[in-house]
Structure 1
Amino acid sequence: MSTFIADIKIPDSKLAVEAAELLREHGDDLLWNHSNRVFLFAAMKGNLNQIKYDPELLYISSLFHDIGLTPKFRSDDKRFEVDGANAVRDFLSSRGVSEEFIRLAWDAVALHSTIGIVEYKEAEVALMNFGVGFDVVGKNFDLISAEARELVVKHFPRDNFKHGILHAFLDGFKHKPETTFGTINADVCEMLLPGFKRPNFCHSVLHSPWNE
């Protein structure tokens, strides 16, 4: 049977189920619940604004958006968002999905935290960014009703999410803090990683190898 939460259908195609199983295998309850909430809030935004989007693409992208934090998919030298994007590309490529579907999924995952740019991308890419911002920092919180929010949280609990997600971020990139330069992830390192000193762009400009 199909599952509906707050009038949003959870995609249940073979591809969607396999993506969900992959996150279940390599993620934890925090990432599972967060990723599903991201999809649901993103889909609600799409429906409220009558935006045409592909639910399967949005769902799979949402499931993969933080998978780069997990031991299975984290690299030694790339932003965790890129690790997740590469993971979704490999997953979809191995299943014969169209290049356009793969491109959009890669962008949605890779750009999900790139504030000020991603919201102007294609529907699924921009909507997933909305879902992430809504769930993590409560951006545009009143856009979705309290009743709908409560239904989503009932099915996918937050369970100390505010502190849990910050430590999940840190665990995902504390071995490569240099990849957070110029991103919001540097805030996590600055707050939670002992001895971390945030790189400064102005310092980089003034101390470049150029004479002038």
Structure 2
Amino acid sequence: MKANGIISVLALSATALARPKHGDHLPTTTVAGVEVVDTQIVRDARALIEKFPDYLYWHSMRTWLLGAAVLNANATLKAEVDLEAHALGTILHDLGWDMSPDSPWVTKENRFEVDGGLGAVRWIKAHKSYSPCVWTEARLERIFDGIALHGTFGIHPFKNIDTKWITNSVGFDGVNFTPPEVPIAKFNSVIAEFPKDSFQKGAIETFTWMAATKPNGTYNTFVEPFGTHYVPGYNSTGKHSFDRITAGWNPDKN
């Protein structure tokens, strides 16, 4: 065999070994009527978020389960998605909502989505099962992007399929609507086990807390109006890109 042929075979073998395992190769279980991945790292991620307040725990679980329900209804799509990465990206997507004192996930300067993405990657790397051969940097980047982009509109649809489906799944659990993509029987079974009753109140309180405690991480984001409306003294004047770009501009002289 020629040298270039040997190199091609080795490259293909390396690609196959590095490729994330999909649903057909992973253990599964059923949660709230939805079949989902059941690896140890996914079970441990679920245990981590169980420590959060109910509204946040339930929201994170609904995000995972509603996304999984949509994937389960489309075998072709499901076969293309890294289901373990999807599970971790959705379950851990709101680590940046942690309002506990001295939270290991929350910074003063980052958007909460970035805190969540960084925290998820850090947690995976610290997990007892972590191996860089399995959790490659490319695979971790897809999880980070899926989390970090979930509060920004218009970008994630053009990303890779795993990033896109983490972010899509977060969108299935918005306030005051029923996502048409989710089969209604599955939607009802998920909501029955993980209720939405406290979600609106919890989200408003969390975003207000962010604006009050880490304002630099809220300017120029969708969280900013919560500061404007609910936090005395919150002021985003001069913090917008518009303010910086137009500073000193006089259309009559320039």
State which of 114, 118, 123 in structure 2 corresponds to 1:82: 114
- Aligned residue number for residue 244 of structure 2: 204
Aligned: 1:184 with 2:222: yes
Query: Structure 2: how far apart are the matches of 1:126 and 1:139?
Result: 21
In the other structure, the counterpart of 1:2 is: 29
Q: Which runs of 5+ in 1 are unaligned?
A: none
Q: Which amino acid aligns with 2:227?
A: C
Q: What is the alpha-carbon root mean square deviation over aligned residues? A: 2.5
Shift of 1:34: 0.4
Deviations for 1:164-202, whole angstroms, at most 9, x for unmatched residues?
A: 212123324531112222221213222322232344433
* Greater C-alpha Rg: 2
Displacement of 1:208: 6.1
Find the partner of 2:91 among 60, 63, 80.
Answer: 63
More helix by share: 1
Percent of aligned pairs with the same residue? 24
Change (3 A) 1:208 1:140: farther
Alignment-derived partner of residue 127 in structure 1: 165
The equivalent residue for 2:38 is 12
Residues 9 and 48 (structure 1 numbering): CA distance in 2 closer, same or farther, change over 3 Å?
Answer: closer
The CA distance in 2 between the partners of 1:208 and 1:10, in whole Å, is 56
- Aligned ranges 1:1-212 → 2 under 5 Å: 2-6=29-33, 8-25=34-51, 27-49=52-74, 50-51=76-77, 52-70=80-98, 71=100, 72=103, 73-94=105-126, 95-96=130-131, 97-137=135-175, 141-199=179-237, 200-207=240-247
TM-score (norm 1): 0.86
1:75-121 CA distances to partner (integer Å, 9 max, x unpaired)? 12111111111111111222223222211111111111111001221
Alignment check: 8 A CA contact 1:45 1:127 kept: no
Structure 2 unaligned blocks of 5 or more: 1-27
Aligned length: 210
TM-score (norm 2): 0.73
SS in 2 for 1:10: strand
Indicate conservation of the 8 Å contact 1:108/1:125, yes or no. yes
Letter in 2 for 1:45: V
